[in-house]
Structure 1
Amino acid sequence: MPKAVIVGGGIGGLATAIAFTRQGWDVEVLERSTRIAEVGAGISLWPNALRALNALGLGDEIRKQAREERSAGIRDSKGRWLARADADAIRERYGSPVMMHRADLLDILRSEVPESAVHTGISATEARTDGAVVHSAGTSTGDVIVGADGIRSVVRRAVCGPIEPRYSGYTAWRVVVTPSEPINDMGESWGSGERFGYGVLPDRRVYCFATADMAAGTQGGGLSEMRARFGSWHAPIPALLAAADESAVLKHDLYDLPPLKTYVADRIALVGDAAHAMTPNLGQGACQALEDAVVLARVAAEDGDLARFDAQRRPRTQMIVKRSRMIGAVGQLSSPLAVLARNTLLRLTPPSAQFKSLAPVLDWEG
């Protein structure tokens, strides 16, 4: 039986393990953390990701534990609409996106991987193109080595040498809150060098995220800074922040990867953030990792020519990285004239044009 050694036990790594298992392969997952768990944050799964999960046999289970996203758009800090998504058109053409907690998604994926295949507390130190991974517990070998070990991937060094992630110029806060009054809508609001968004989880809790221009590595700035920056924005943002707990706030600088020349080298393939870490502006990071998993396992099972995986996945994912970075740059504009021009352009752009712009991202069938 052929074997895949997967370095990384996050969403992309576990999905890849499932995909290879479905193809009849033996799998070994090496995860450096002592347990497989996710941070307290929500995740949007767009229709392309749901089709990937369908291919893994998990689409129905995911939908049972997720909440359909019905309406969305962009407002300014006072709540005036700048752009509204045509939810009905998206649903009719692609299917509806869903929102769920990242931990619930990870639990579903983990339950589908054989218990004996997952090894935690294992740190990879080197990957070799002959199919070996050197790690803290020894060496593992396989017919395919999968780097699913994130933006600062160890495996990636064997594919394309040292690559430095790029700082986006802004940091992000994430927090899940239980509001005193039910929230039924979702969306994102853009200010001057700042953004705030929220979405409702299946249990009626609300996932909130925010961004602000900031030097990389700036310390501090938890819930008190969120309230100072966004507490006077439109409803329900002040109420959401009032319901937040300081201990639940996550703050991380946002990075992405420059375009890699290849995602593969001999027996090694990169997936997810190891290959194409992106800013979260399109909500496609995990979605693209799920696509990667399906395509990589199929290519490996068909003829083992990993160059076909690279040819299928690299142009698409790098296009999405670029789009996400551009949207972030526009969303983070801070000069008054630039913000005025951006907001005016958004208001003048018809929903049909916005809908059409989604096609290259969502129109994926596997």
Structure 2
Amino acid sequence: MGVRHAVVAGGGIGGLTAAVALSRRGWRVTVCERAPALTGIGAGIVLAPNALRALDSIGLGPEVWVGGALPAQVGVRTPDGAWLSRTGAGGTSSRYGLPTLAVHRGFLIDALAAALPPGVVRLGVPVSGVQDAGGTVVVRTSAGELRADVVVAADGMRSVLRGQLFPRHPGLRHAGEAGWRAVLSGVGLPARSAAETWGRGERFGLVPLVDGRIYIYATAVTGPGTKSADRAVTGPGAAPAYRGADPADHHAELTRRFGAWHDPIPALLDRLDRRNPEPVAVLHHDFHELASPLPRFHSGRVALLGDAAHAMTPNLGQGGCQAIEDAVVLAHLLAGGGADDVPAALAAYSEARHPRTTRISRRSRRIGELARLSHPLAVSVRNLAVRATPWAVTARALDTVLGWQPPS
């Protein structure tokens, strides 16, 4: 039986994890990435226990993740600094046997790329389409055609392959928020707990990374459209309308919104001032999710993975983690048999992943709806409810997400 060939469309976290997992199960893998470099564009990513367990199952264990875990106690605060909810002592390690780590996306991309054999990744080569060829798949790329036994569509939220395979699907919808993200130096700042602060239609989060830097993010309610969205939420008690600030004005916009919130938020925002000797890059984007779940995550010999399959809001911090899970499960199901067994393996992949990611996506959406509340009365009721919910109840609700185990 010859060596089977997999083409992975997309060199992000999900695509590279799939490439590592497949190559370690004997597949010849080609990753086609449209960008000219694997730069790890983005900010921080939280690797929850379910993602760490998945990575460990393909040989990326604790020795890769140098640095410390998130503080044992993390939670939700109000703009004046009061805690609404905090994890119990010990954090995820005591409950799930693994910590929660936060790393820069670039670090994770580099670790995955280093685990691949030389020559697997082809940069500057976008995939434009696929065609069934009777037992194989012809993959159309900017560098010519490739023939594969299976194609992994990991080409992101605006997946070209998803559009080809499911042309009747409505695609993305605006999730009601815009966000800012940045990674800052932690030098000169005291040790801080990870926390997310909920205001009226606005949020601010800070997460210590394993390398000592600090990942910050902020969100604001906005309407559908681009970064200059003009249909922001209005009405009694609504949060200040999102104005689509010019990139040079991110510091001013964030200071206007969050400068009076609790410490250390003002000090962190000062580090975004573009007049600083080393300006910090701020990423700015609208949030989108799939308007409805896909009917399945495969078509013939093509499997969709990560955002291409189930783009979700970031409220649970599970988008990247679910892509990692997808990749590990897909490689496991493709491990046995030959090329003729691929369609059955992909059907099993859909059956394994579709229900779980659909539930997590819905849960993430519900959390976002709570966090986006802006009317003072609604915010007060929400805060009382969060404060009154024991952490043990919250933890049990997360067990099905964080306690996931990879296939043996």
TM-score bucket (shorter structure) = over 0.9
- How far apart are the structure 2 equivalents of 1:309 and 1:176? 35
Shift in Å, 1:56: 1.2
Instruction: Specify the alignment match of 2:150 in structure 1.
Output: 144
Instruction: Specify the alignment match of 2:173 in structure 1.
Output: 166
- How far apart are the structure 2 equivalents of 1:93 and 1:319? 22
- 8 Å contact 2:101–2:209 — kept in the other structure? no
**More moved, 229-238 vs 83-92:** 83-92
- How far apart are the structure 1 equivalents of 2:8 and 2:313? 24
- Secondary structure of 2:211's counterpart equals coil
Instruction: Specify the alignment match of 1:238 in structure 2.
Output: 266
Instruction: Specify the alignment match of 2:397 in structure 1.
Output: 357
Shift in Å, 1:66: 5.6
Shift in Å, 1:159: 2.8
Letter in 2 for 1:274: A
Structure 1 pair 10–89 and aligned structure 2 pair: CA distance change class (3 A): closer
**More moved, 245-254 vs 11-20:** 245-254
**More moved, 1-10 vs 40-49:** 40-49
**More moved, 82-91 vs 199-208:** 82-91
Structure 1 pair 69–98 and aligned structure 2 pair: CA distance change class (3 A): farther
Structure 1 pair 250–56 and aligned structure 2 pair: CA distance change class (3 A): same
Residues 1:336 and 2:386 are matched in the alignment: no
- How far apart are the structure 1 equivalents of 2:334 and 2:364? 29
Instruction: Specify the alignment match of 1:84 in structure 2.
Output: 86
Q: Please give the root-mean-square deviation of Cα atoms over the aligned residues, in Å.
A: 1.5
Shift in Å, 1:186: 1.1
- How far apart are the structure 2 equivalents of 1:132 and 1:65? 43
Task: Provide Cα deviations, 1:166-195, integer angstroms capped at 9, x if missing partner.
Answer: 111110000111243233311100000000
Provide the aligned length of Structure 1 versus Structure 2.
366
- Secondary structure of 2:327's counterpart equals helix
Residues 1:52 and 2:77 are matched in the alignment: no
- 8 Å contact 1:67–1:100 — kept in the other structure? no
- 8 Å contact 2:128–2:160 — kept in the other structure? yes
- How far apart are the structure 2 equivalents of 1:89 and 1:10? 29
| Unpaired stretches in structure 2, ≥5 consecutive residues | 229-243, 275-279
Task: Provide Cα deviations, 1:304-350, integer angstroms capped at 9, x if missing partner.
Answer: 32100000001001111111111011011111111011001001101
Instruction: Specify the alignment match of 2:39 in structure 1.
Output: 37
Instruction: Specify the alignment match of 2:113 in structure 1.
Output: 110
Which of 1 and 2 has greater Rg?
Answer: 2
Shift in Å, 1:65: 4.9
Shift in Å, 1:151: 0.7
- Secondary structure of 1:248's counterpart equals coil
The 5 A counterparts of 1:287-326 are 287-303=321-337, 304=342, 305=344, 306-326=346-366
- How far apart are the structure 2 equivalents of 1:239 and 1:122? 42
State which of 200, 203, 209 in structure 2 corresponds to 1:201. 209
Instruction: Specify the alignment match of 1:259 in structure 2.
Output: 293
- Secondary structure of 1:78's counterpart equals coil
Task: Provide Cα deviations, 1:204-234, integer angstroms capped at 9, x if missing partner.
Answer: 2211000001233223252211111001000
Instruction: Specify the alignment match of 2:190 in structure 1.
Output: 182
Calculate percent identity across the aligned residue pairs. 44
- How far apart are the structure 2 equivalents of 1:66 and 1:167? 35
- How far apart are the structure 1 equivalents of 2:390 and 2:70? 24
Shift in Å, 1:90: 2.8
- 8 Å contact 1:146–1:269 — kept in the other structure? yes
Letter in 2 for 1:250: L
- How far apart are the structure 1 equivalents of 2:164 and 2:329? 21
- Secondary structure of 2:295's counterpart equals coil
- How far apart are the structure 2 equivalents of 1:256 and 1:22? 32
- Secondary structure of 1:115's counterpart equals coil
| Unpaired stretches in structure 1, ≥5 consecutive residues | none
- Secondary structure of 2:65's counterpart equals helix
- How far apart are the structure 1 equivalents of 2:191 and 2:67? 18
- Secondary structure of 2:109's counterpart equals helix
- Secondary structure of 1:278's counterpart equals coil
Shift in Å, 1:112: 1.0
Structure 1 residue ranges (4+ consecutive) displaced by more than 6 angstroms after TM superposition: none
**More moved, 107-116 vs 188-197:** 107-116
Structure 1 pair 312–184 and aligned structure 2 pair: CA distance change class (3 A): same
- How far apart are the structure 2 equivalents of 1:142 and 1:210? 42
Shift in Å, 1:128: 2.3
- 8 Å contact 1:48–1:287 — kept in the other structure? yes
- 8 Å contact 2:10–2:153 — kept in the other structure? yes
